Chains A and B, each alone.
Chain A
Amino acid sequence: MNQTDTIQYLDNKENKTWRFLISELKPKTKIFTAFNIITLPIILLGLGLIVYRFRFGLEAVTNLSQDVPWGIWKAFNVVVGVAMAGGAYVLVFMTHVLHIKRYEPVLKIAVLNGLLAYVFYSAALVLELGRPLDIFNVIIGNDYGVSSILFLVAWHFMLYILCLFLEFSPSIAAWLNARKMHKFLTGITLVAVVFGITLSVLHQGGIGALFLLAKGKIHPLWYNNYMPLMFVIQSVFGGLSLVVVVVAISWKIFAFQLTEKMIKAKDDILVGLAGICSVGLFSYVFMHIIIFVHEKYFAYMGTGWGNWYLLEMIGLVILPMFLFMYSYKTKNATMVIVSSVITLMGILINRLNVSLIAYNIDAPVRYVPTWQELTVSLAIILIQIWVFRWIILRMPVLRNGPDWAKGH
């Protein structure tokens, strides 16, 4: 793409805040690109369906039933999506807590990706609530169901979105030329970081713990007592895999914003992340072997579900583990991207198995999402990508911030 960096900042001396914000709303890139032409109709249709869902109830657009109360919005956008948004806390941990400078160039984009993912996946969650207005009961204390895993997940979710916002906020302050605010927000980053990591570990595990209560309903191959731990491990390599994919795409699309140093850093970062992912996948495989023996899974081998399980384990977990190792050894960045995509597929399949495919397998009618549900699911992700692009074209995420904000 042949573009120049057209970034501008608010000039507060002339007191033009509103004019600046309105001018920033205008598109900065070509409007009629193939991506826009394909995605805009899907987004509009999705928004229409959301209005329809609130006007006529869940039955009107979804295939949810008394046997399958959680559909694709929860299973895909929340249960799968949250694992893939885990890259933010892992990178924040390495950069801010361990002081590893190597991954700093991709930190902001990972945090932004995490922030948007959480905001939009919460929206998907609200869509599937039968009584969405009553969601405030959890906040105002009508009542606090403190012995509920979902209560833990809800609160850790909300607080983590706040932490992610605080972690990203210096970029917003730089864009708005708010120097004092920038200094303040940068100062409290460590608090947001420390609590963000803690909240992440607990709600990532919490999503796994949600399904502990569904004992007897999930096929034994996907139900085990270690689910909370397995979900946390998944969020480490799954989150980083998504960071790899996001970085690979962004470094192409937004290349005009990048400094030489950033462009050069990419391959080294991807290879580094491949190392972490392969170790993460190794511990995941090892845990699965222990579970396999412990829960006597051998008895299920040879059945249809057993084959489905083996396909997931060998094709989408063990294979990318070796691919990551290989690409780390040979410093092959392209191979890292391929392994990441396979790993993400593995997480997608595994979590859909837990929450949908292997859930309530005895139900007389299998749940198949309607086209409306799929459209809304897709539209949510596309809107997220649009907002992501809007922010990157305006705020210092990939390129350097203004001179006064140097060092952060």
Chain B
Amino acid sequence: MSLNRRTFFKAMGATAVALSVGKVSTASEAFSDNGTELNGMLYDMSRCVGCFGCEYDCAEAHEAEMPDIPRNPPPRKLDETCRTVVNRHETSIGMVAFKDQCRHCSEPACTAACLTMAMYKTQEGPVIWREDKCMGCRYCMIACPFDIPKFEYKSTNPKVVKCDMCVNRLAEGEIPACSYFCPEEALTYGKRSDLIKEARTRIIENPDTYVDYIYGEHEAGGTSWMYLSPVPFEELGFNMKIQKKSFPGLTKGFISSIAPVDLLLPTFLLGVYQATKSTSTITEEDEI
């Protein structure tokens, strides 16, 4: 076994292939890759009366099974049968309803986790799941800081279920079903930057109504779905510990080290191989 020119070049060629695979994708907070401004939703919990109507509208828009909600429902969690869930919370100022669904992060953890790009951030803002690509590894569920993607464990051909911001309705020029049908206009669809301005305006004009915080403006690097609340967010069970930096940033350092390691380590190893080769013949016998 010897290292000749050809083996060396063969090795270098394969390294170049490995190098080309390891690039890093980045996205800014408010804009998608090509500069289009992201759309989003502003959810005003002071307006929401917790009528559960959006749950039915959501199921209808996604041709899913209608939810079966009892009169005074116990606290419910998102599961594989629904894309959104509304819970009424008893708080210091009385009942406040909280609608949970995908937050459509500007830089989502799930799309950074997905190895087939089945989880995909569209140019307009929605984060969608693409059935023809997913292999069901559920890394998106591990990664999502809001615990949103749900998996059909019962099925032999399972799907990942999550809100897609009615991407099909958006394509037809409509707005998401929950926002369209909301009787209280608690859900406002629009450009993310406009929504932030709108949210600030509401807080400034009605300082007694709102807590001075827009949940989702900075959480996980900024999300397209943002919340205004009449009570401190902790009372509604919001996770305030979620980091303000984007989640893909956590793995960026490692990913950008892949290409250099793939290129430099083989070179280094070949160097060590050559450097230790001549001495080996001397020590060969007295080792064993």
Contact = CB atoms under 8 A, between A and B. Distances in A.
Contacts of A146: 21-25
B92 interface: no
B117 A144 contact: yes
A65 B142 CA distance: 12
Contacts of B11: 191, 194-195
Contacts of B175: none
A150 B115 contact: yes
Interface in A164-209: 186-191, 193-195, 197-198, 201-202, 205-206, 209
Interface stretch (A14-22, A91-99, A377-385, A393-401): A91-99
Interface stretch (A50-58, A298-306, A317-325): A50-58
A214 interface: yes
B137 interface: yes
A100 B269 CA distance: 14
Contact of A191 (B10, B153, B239, B250): B10
B241 interface: yes
B247 interface: yes
B242 A216 contact: yes
Closest 8 CB pairs of A and B: A130-B136, A99-B280, A131-B136, A151-B115, A69-B138, A134-B135, A213-B143, A143-B117
B266 interface: yes
A407 to B, nearest CB: 10
B167 interface: no
A156 B155 CA distance: 30
A129 interface: yes
Residue with the highest number of chain B CB atoms closer than 10 Å, among A62, A96, A147: A147
B288 A265 contact: yes
A406 interface: no
B135 A57 contact: no
Contacts of A93: 269
Contacts of A102: 287-288
B37 interface: no
Contacts of B79: 66
B181 interface: no
A198 B266 contact: yes
Contacts of A403: none
Interface stretch (B44-52, B97-105, B188-196, B270-278): B270-278
A202 B261 contact: yes
Contact of A215 (B24, B243, B283): B243
A332 to B, nearest CB: 20
Contacts of B231: none
Q: Which residue, of A67, A70, A150, has the highest number of chain B Cβ atoms within 10 A?
A: A150
A397 to B, nearest CB: 19
Interface string B119-155: 0000000000000111111110111010100111111
B165 to A, nearest CB: 21
Nearest to B3: A190
Contact of B255 (A67, A129, A135, A149): A149
A142 B154 contact: no
State the majority secondary structure of interface residues on A. Answer: helix
B276 to A, nearest CB: 5
A138 B135 contact: yes
Nearest to A189: B1
A69 B110 CA distance: 14
A132 B136 contact: yes
A70 B287 contact: no
Contacts of B78: 66
B112 A213 contact: yes
Contacts of B207: none
A357 interface: no
B113 A101 contact: no
Interface residues of B, number: 72
A223 to B, nearest CB: 10
Contacts of B14: 191, 195
Contacts of A211: 142
Contacts of A137: 116, 133, 135
Contacts of B115: 138, 145, 148, 150-151, 154
Nearest to B150: A66
Interface string B234-251: 000001011100011011
Nearest to B241: A216
A142 B116 contact: yes
Given A190-B3, A213-B113, A69 B157 contact: no
A212 B251 contact: yes
Contacts of B133: 134, 137, 142-143
A154 to B, nearest CB: 6
B134 A131 contact: yes
Residue of A55, A69, A128, A186 with most chain B CB atoms under a 10 A cut-off: A69
Nearest to B114: A145
Nearest to B119: A145
30 contacts: A58-B158, A66-B77, A66-B78, A66-B80, A96-B273, A97-B273, A128-B137, A129-B135, A130-B136, A131-B135, A131-B136, A131-B158, A132-B136, A134-B116, A134-B136, A147-B24, A150-B137, A152-B22, A152-B258, A193-B269, A194-B273, A195-B14, A202-B261, A206-B254, A209-B251, A213-B109, A213-B113, A213-B251, A214-B143, A216-B239
A62 to B, nearest CB: 8
B34 interface: no
Interface in A80-129: 93, 96-102, 128-129
B206 interface: no
Contacts of B265: 197-198, 201
